[in-house]
């Protein structure tokens, strides 16, 4: 297992644990779950507000940074996360 894969698995476990503590997240309870994956404009803005209010946002963003997921995770889109990593 590579260091990156180990980090990814660790972050995933953190996210899963946080979800067990806090219950379903806004993206899991949304009537429009695609908003977290293909949305732009108003729908994306609404999904971001869900992330802003999400109790597991830090764990979610950490996981997505390690895993390079598609879509909006932890309040950031994939291109935004890529820029964040590049700037670090």
**Which one of 4-12, 37-45, 72-80 is the stretch in contact with ligand SF4 (CB under 6 A)?**
72-80
Kindly state whether residue 27 participates in binding ligand SF4, applying the rule CB under 6 A.
yes
Kindly state whether residue 51 participates in binding ligand SF4, applying the rule CB under 6 A.
yes
* Alpha-carbon distances of 8 from 12, 27, 42, 61, 73, rounded to whole Å: 6, 21, 31, 11, 14
Kindly state whether residue 76 participates in binding ligand SF4, applying the rule CB under 6 A.
no
CB of 59 to ligand SF4, least distance (A): 8
What is the rounded CA–CA span in Å between residue 59 and residue 48?
A: 15
Single residue of 11, 35, 39, 50 touching ligand SF4 by CB under 6 A: 50
Tokens of 85: 């990593």
């Amino acid at each position: 297992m590579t260091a990156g894969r180990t980090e990814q698995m660790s972050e995933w476990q953190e996210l899963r644990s946080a979800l067990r503590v806090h219950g379903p997240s806004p993206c899991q309870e949304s009537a429009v779950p695609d908003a977290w994956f293909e949305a732009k404009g108003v729908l994306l803005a609404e999904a971001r507000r869900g992330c802003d209010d999400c109790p597991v946002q830090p764990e979610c963003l950490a996981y997505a940074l390690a895993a390079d997921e598609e879509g909006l995770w932890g309040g950031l889109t994939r291109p935004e996360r890529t820029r964040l990593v590049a700037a670090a």
